[in-house]
Structure 1
Amino acid sequence: MNYAGPAEETPARSGLELTPFRGLRYDPDRVGSLAAVTSPPYDVIVRPDGLLHLESADPHNIVRLILPQDTTPTARNRQAADTLHDWVSEGVLAADPEPGLYVYEQHDDGMLQRGIIGALRLSEPSAGVVLPHEDVMPHIIADRAALMRATSANLEPLLLTYRGNGSRVGTAAVIERAAEGDPLLSTTTEDGFSHRLWAITDPADLAEIQTDLGRHQALIADGHHRWATYLRLRAEHPSPSPWDYGLVLLVDTARYPLRVRAIHRLLHNLPVAEALTALTDSFRVRHLDVPLAEALEALGAAAAEGNAFLLAGDGSFHLVDRPSPDLLARTVPADRPEAWRTLDATVLHATLLAHIWGIPEDSPAHIAYIHDTAATVDKAERDGGTAVLMHPVREEVVRDLARQGVTMPRKSTSFGPKPASGLVLRALPL
């Protein structure tokens, strides 16, 4: 497979360094359709029926690489590695003829987003070049690292944002010029999003991008576990090596603002009645006999005034808000900024999960993190658990905390739209 990244060390930089690579892409003549081989990111596919749907969409769907199925982790990773090798050998996946960066566009009726995909030089958190904003779970990092080792590939890009000046200069100018030409690929996925991809290979354009991005820092919008995995794998390999880089999509949110949505919690072993009983006088609880959309509107209104959550799973909704100030003072750590202490996710994890319900936040047997609101409610009702629906955090809050070096509780935000997996991969040498 193909090396991506310079052969020698380059001087330390204070900003982003995005490097061209030979993208590994599906040959459209060897698959049913490009849409049929794509997938949401691995951590968005939470239901077995969703996994089976993707597997049956096309025998070459990318989900067979990012979420291989077998009886043991070792067998799963070996299966992914063998599958990737077979697809490359058969020409199902082929490397582009020359290294480049890739302009990636997503569009639906209400949003146009354009960004640039490349191999980003990894930096230590202390460098302040790439800012994480969420805590991570060690077992997920270990799982992703084992898969990347086995396949020797970055199978899907993580999503980073940066703030340009909003004008059409530098990287923005190159992106817009590229989007005026014929794309390498164009497809529409079943979620209604159209996707287009262009390659940037002209040395002058590449230099313009590198100069511009070298003045910026980035916020991890989606992919904290993959970023932590990149750092772990880089530490395992003597530098310089292709592991000094990781596959990312960079989006300038001054030009293309992202949608920010919440990630909900599913508490497997806690029925709604028990969850409500445990709240006693520590929160206000209101029963809502309304459809999901109206319940979410009520949650939004309550969240504008303070901490608020929506519990579901028993066929109705329960709005939980106005926590006891004394309870918060006892349970929320006081050594963080006020913006962190007042986050819904902070109160959920420090007060509700740890103190009132006694649920370990890092145990898959007790808690699941789900992006889809209706799916969270449906699964809670089927399994007899409790869905905790969250209200999204504003991007400005996330970025301000990240700049202070303060991480939010894990799975606090969901930025989107997320890049579709399967449009471009980055292969590393075996």
Structure 2
Amino acid sequence: MNDAGPVEETPTSDGLDLSPFRGLRYDPDRVGSISAVTSPPYDVVVRPDGLLHLESADPHNIVRLILPQDADPAARNQQAADTLRRWLAEGVLAVDAEPGLYVYEQRDGSILQRGVIGALRLSEAADGVVLPHEDVMPHIVADRADLMRATSANLEPLLLTYRSNGGATGAAAVVERVTERAPLLSTTTEDGFSHRLWAVTDPAELAGIRTDLHRHQALIADGHHRWATYLRLRAEHPSPSAWDHGLVLLVDTARYPLRVRAIHRLLNRLPPAAARAALTGLFRVSEVRAPLAEALDALAGAAAEGNAFLLAGDGTFHLVDRPAPDLLARTVPADRPEPWRTLDATVLHATLLEHVWGIPEDSPEHIAYIHDTAATVEKAERDGGTAVLMHPVREEVVRELARQGVKMPRKSTSFGPKPATGLVLRTLTL
């Protein structure tokens, strides 16, 4: 795919409207450590291994709210609501005294990301101001909506990106000034990232951030299902109400570029040998006799020339590339722009899953979406399924498609670093 290049956003009078809120945060004196109660976003937790690890890290780990465990969905959500109420009553979680926006920093070696957490007004943002770039799965939106209704809380922020002119003015100036102060909290999670959080309550600083953001659109970098959930719940509640807003983290990628990684697929019921056999005469299939890191390098090289995937699951790696042109002509919808038709995710879903392997993309029994590369391979080898490893899409391609109103196949990208869940929550009742 051709590089679309950076896209300048057009300032709008109906742009991002970010409001202060009274953050709900852990009392560090009531938990083992702030690090021990945090979690990755709910859809990044590799279950059941990652879930059990987080649950055992601290009895108050946030995973007990975002991923409650019970065979019955209603009981599961009620469990989360009861846990939240108990932690509030016990003082494990407490609401900040005054409303504010929150400056959030993540750092790991050469990676530095800073952004602003706040309550984004949804009515205006839903109308072309916030740009989704992926389709969603209805059953996940329904599940997240049930959990938000039960808890009356935004338990983790979406990750949204916007682009300024790169100068240290407006919101950027406030962010840089705030980070010179003592933070509300500072912790390092087990992945090596350090996290710091500051509250912004000064009226002039709040006005500086909000006025600047009102000129911009935002791209959803992470959290399409939670965004769809916000919009569904807003429509269910008469306005004005707390449901008119949703918790987000806004990052200026002109100053803090995000990494874009792939989300891999685990085909639970398709053995690797059967997956490869079905590709005969349709794709080129080549064994890669190398460790995972070198196999991914081979995937990157092939992806620069065209559609390419890496299959794993039986102790070997196989590069799948050079699809037959007539196969793509038969299977990829022709009513979309060429950049969409040539996406690896498009070819995977339209050609491989639907036509070659016959796997329903919205069935958790047949397919899982996993962010961690090594974990995808390990689970495939342990369970006898096929891991389909993907090469990431460039951010500028994602943004340009989103500006055209074209959505990529679900789970096409993973932007990061993602905010840690559990540092600041938003309750809709206090």
Give the partner amino acid of 2:80: A
Q: Distance in 1 between matches of 2:401 and 2:355?
A: 24
Show the 5 A alignment for 1:18-417.
18-123=18-123, 127-417=127-417
The DSSP-based 3-state class of the residue aligned with 1:265 is: strand
Give unmatched runs, 5+ long, in structure 1.
Answer: 1-11
The DSSP-based 3-state class of the residue aligned with 2:278 is: helix
User: RMSD between aligned alpha carbons?
Assistant: 1.0
Q: Distance in 2 between matches of 1:299 and 1:276?
A: 16
Give the partner amino acid of 1:228: A
Deviation at 1:224? Answer: 0.1
Deviation at 1:124? Answer: 6.3
1:265 and 1:368 in contact (8 A); partners too: yes
Deviations 1:249-304 (A, max 9, x none): 00000000001000000000101111111111111110111100000000000000
2:159 and 2:221 in contact (8 A); partners too: yes
TM superposition score normalised by structure 1: 0.96
Q: Distance in 1 between matches of 2:253 and 2:400?
A: 15
C-alpha distance 134-55 of structure 1, shift in aligned 2 (>3 A): same
Tell me the residue number matched to 1:17.
17
Q: Distance in 1 between matches of 2:373 and 2:159?
A: 21
Q: Distance in 2 between matches of 1:45 and 1:202?
A: 36
Q: Distance in 1 between matches of 2:146 and 2:180?
A: 40
Deviation at 1:71? Answer: 2.4
The DSSP-based 3-state class of the residue aligned with 1:279 is: coil
Give the partner amino acid of 1:256: Y
The DSSP-based 3-state class of the residue aligned with 1:116 is: strand
Q: Distance in 1 between matches of 2:29 and 2:269?
A: 48
The DSSP-based 3-state class of the residue aligned with 1:318 is: strand
Instruction: Report how many aligned residue pairs link the two structures.
Output: 419
Deviations 1:137-166 (A, max 9, x none): 000000000000000000000100001111
The DSSP-based 3-state class of the residue aligned with 1:42 is: coil
Q: Distance in 2 between matches of 1:322 and 1:244?
A: 48
Deviation at 1:123? Answer: 3.5
Q: Distance in 1 between matches of 2:94 and 2:13?
A: 32
1:263 and 1:369 in contact (8 A); partners too: yes
Give unmatched runs, 5+ long, in structure 2.
Answer: 1-11
1:259 and 1:415 in contact (8 A); partners too: yes
Deviations 1:27-68 (A, max 9, x none): 000000000000000000122121111111111000000001
Q: Distance in 1 between matches of 2:172 and 2:104?
A: 12
Deviation at 1:127? Answer: 1.9
C-alpha distance 241-263 of structure 1, shift in aligned 2 (>3 A): same
2:267 and 2:386 in contact (8 A); partners too: yes
Deviation at 1:126? Answer: 6.5
Deviation at 1:429? Answer: 1.4
1:14 and 1:214 in contact (8 A); partners too: yes
Among all aligned residue pairs of Structure 1 and Structure 2, give the percentage whose two residues are the same amino acid.
83
Q: Distance in 2 between matches of 1:412 and 1:129?
A: 21
Deviations 1:111-149 (A, max 9, x none): 000000000001467621000000000000000000000
Q: Distance in 2 between matches of 1:123 and 1:324?
A: 45
Q: Distance in 2 between matches of 1:13 and 1:190?
A: 42
2:126 and 2:231 in contact (8 A); partners too: no
1:310 and 1:388 in contact (8 A); partners too: yes
Q: Distance in 2 between matches of 1:58 and 1:234?
A: 33
C-alpha distance 157-52 of structure 1, shift in aligned 2 (>3 A): same
1:123 and 1:130 in contact (8 A); partners too: no
1:187 and 1:194 in contact (8 A); partners too: yes
Give the partner amino acid of 2:147: L
2:16 and 2:125 in contact (8 A); partners too: no
Give the partner amino acid of 1:222: D
Tell me the residue number matched to 1:429.
429
Give the partner amino acid of 1:190: E
2:307 and 2:343 in contact (8 A); partners too: yes
1:123 and 1:129 in contact (8 A); partners too: no
Q: Distance in 2 between matches of 1:58 and 1:92?
A: 12
Q: Distance in 2 between matches of 1:292 and 1:275?
A: 19
Q: Distance in 1 between matches of 2:172 and 2:124?
A: 26
Tell me the residue number matched to 1:5.
none
Q: Distance in 2 between matches of 1:42 and 1:20?
A: 24
